[in-house]
């Protein structure tokens, strides 16, 4: 069960690192590591995740799937969807999922997910979740917001934490190798920039197209020059990126 064992720390570098260390030492599936502050919080694509002490709900869940790690594909967007649903119940503004799994309120990021895996004989995955709940010292960091800025009634991390753990547990129990049509439809109904022209940036690669939906493996479906393409990693940037003209003197 997710959350049967919970380790809580006032401060760690990253709950992801602590989770992998505990997993190496044999921690059971579903063990949760939570911190009130991270000094080296990690985000997707090598970015940092920074939150002032006690301003965010931050935790990592150790997952030991009884199936191959590549079949975990859909879990991060399903968890993104569950966070979006939960946040929607609290917020008075529209909540969107920005593929692959960010949650946005009013086009600003309120929550992010980091899924990391280690293969081998004791394959393990660690699912890290961060939700900005209170204002941070620099809360107006570009593109970020916090839940209580949009909440109908303010909520605290202690109330939210068990609700989210229970919902992750349900997702885990029902997890299939591919998303079901009902899940795809629900996620697409919340998708940020659905039907819009975007660029997907992944390291030094870039694809431009129009978002048409979510694939069964959790990838993003794009229409590119009239044919459909599915991208499985990257960052959405709104609109086609301008081509930089070379300097001509
Ligand atoms: C992202 O949006 O890029 C993902 C952010 C994930 C942040 C969480 S906070 C708890 C866990 N520990 C980390 O170091 N990162 C994740």
The alpha-helical segments, DSSP class H, found in the chain are 15-24, 75-90, 157-174, 181-189
CA 114 to centroid of ligand 1, rounded, Å: 5
Q: Return the residue whose CA atom lies nearest to atom 15 of ligand 1.
A: 42
* Any atom of ligand 1 within 6 Å of the Cβ of 16: yes
CA 131 to centroid of ligand 1, rounded, Å: 9
**Token pair for 75:** 């879990």
pLDDT at 241: 66
**Token pair for 186:** 């629900």
CA 21 to centroid of ligand 1, rounded, Å: 16
Place of tokens 């979006």: 84
Cα three-residue angle 3-33-203, rounded to 5 degrees: 115
* Any atom of ligand 1 within 6 Å of the Cβ of 75: no
* Any atom of ligand 1 within 6 Å of the Cβ of 49: yes
Per-10-residue mean pLDDT for the chain, 249 residues long? 97 98 97 98 92 94 92 91 97 95 95 95 94 76 88 95 98 94 97 96 91 96 95 89 49
* Any atom of ligand 1 within 6 Å of the Cβ of 111: no
* Any atom of ligand 1 within 6 Å of the Cβ of 99: no
What is the C-alpha to C-alpha distance for residues 29 and 47, in angstroms, rounded to an integer? Answer: 27
What is the C-alpha to C-alpha distance for residues 51 and 137, in angstroms, rounded to an integer? Answer: 9
CA 76 to centroid of ligand 1, rounded, Å: 12
200 with 223: CB under 8 angstroms? no
CA 93 to centroid of ligand 1, rounded, Å: 24
* Any atom of ligand 1 within 6 Å of the Cβ of 34: no
* Any atom of ligand 1 within 6 Å of the Cβ of 38: yes
Query: Can you list the positions of beta strands (E) in the chain?
Result: 6-9, 32-35, 56-63, 95-98, 102-105, 108-118, 124-132, 197-202, 205-214, 220-224, 227-231, 235-238
Give residue-wise pLDDT tens across range 30-85.
999 999 999 999 999 889 999 899 999 999 999 999 888 888 878 999 999 999 99
Mutation choice for ligand 1 from 130, 164, 168, CB with most ligand atoms inside 8 A? 130
What is the C-alpha to C-alpha distance for residues 103 and 116, in angstroms, rounded to an integer? Answer: 19
pLDDT at 248: 41
pTM listed for this prediction: 0.93
CA 66 to centroid of ligand 1, rounded, Å: 24
pLDDT at 243: 54
pLDDT at 247: 43
Give residue-wise pLDDT tens across range 89-102.
999 999 999 999 99
Ligand 1 atom closest to 38 (CA): 14
**Token pair for 160:** 């939210």
CA 122 to centroid of ligand 1, rounded, Å: 23
For residue 146, CA distances in Å to 78, 84, 135, 142, 234 come to 21, 13, 6, 12, 24
């Amino acid at each position: 069960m997710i959350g049967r064992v919970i380790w809580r720390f006032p401060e760690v570098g990253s709950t992801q690192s602590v989770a992998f260390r505990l997993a190496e030492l044999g921690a059971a599936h579903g063990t949760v590591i939570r911190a009130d502050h991270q000094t080296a919080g990690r985000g997707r694509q090598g970015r940092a995740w920074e939150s002032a002490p006690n301003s965010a709900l931050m935790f990592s869940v150790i997952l030991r799937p009884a199936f191959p790690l590549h079949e975990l594909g859909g879990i991060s967007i399903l968890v993104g969807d569950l966070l979006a649903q939960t946040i929607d119940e609290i917020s008075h503004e529209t909540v969107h999922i920005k593929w692959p799994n960010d949650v946005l309120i009013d086009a600003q990021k309120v929550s992010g997910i980091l899924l990391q895996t280690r293969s081998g004989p004791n394959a393990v995955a660690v699912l890290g979740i961060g939700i900005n709940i209170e204002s941070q010292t620099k809360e107006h960091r570009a593109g970020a917001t916090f839940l209580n800025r949009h909440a109908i009634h303010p909520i605290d991390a202690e109330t939210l934490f068990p609700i989210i753990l229970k919902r992750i547990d349900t997702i885990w129990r029902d997890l299939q190798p591919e998303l079901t049509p009902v899940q795809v439809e629900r996620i697409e109904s919340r998708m940020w920039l659905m039907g819009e022209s975007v660029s997907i940036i992944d390291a030094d690669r870039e694809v431009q197209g129009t978002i048409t939906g979510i694939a069964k493996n959790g990838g993003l479906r794009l229409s590119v020059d009239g044919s459909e393409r599915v991208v499985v990693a990257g960052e959405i940037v709104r609109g086609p990126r301008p081509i930089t003209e070379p300097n001509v003197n």
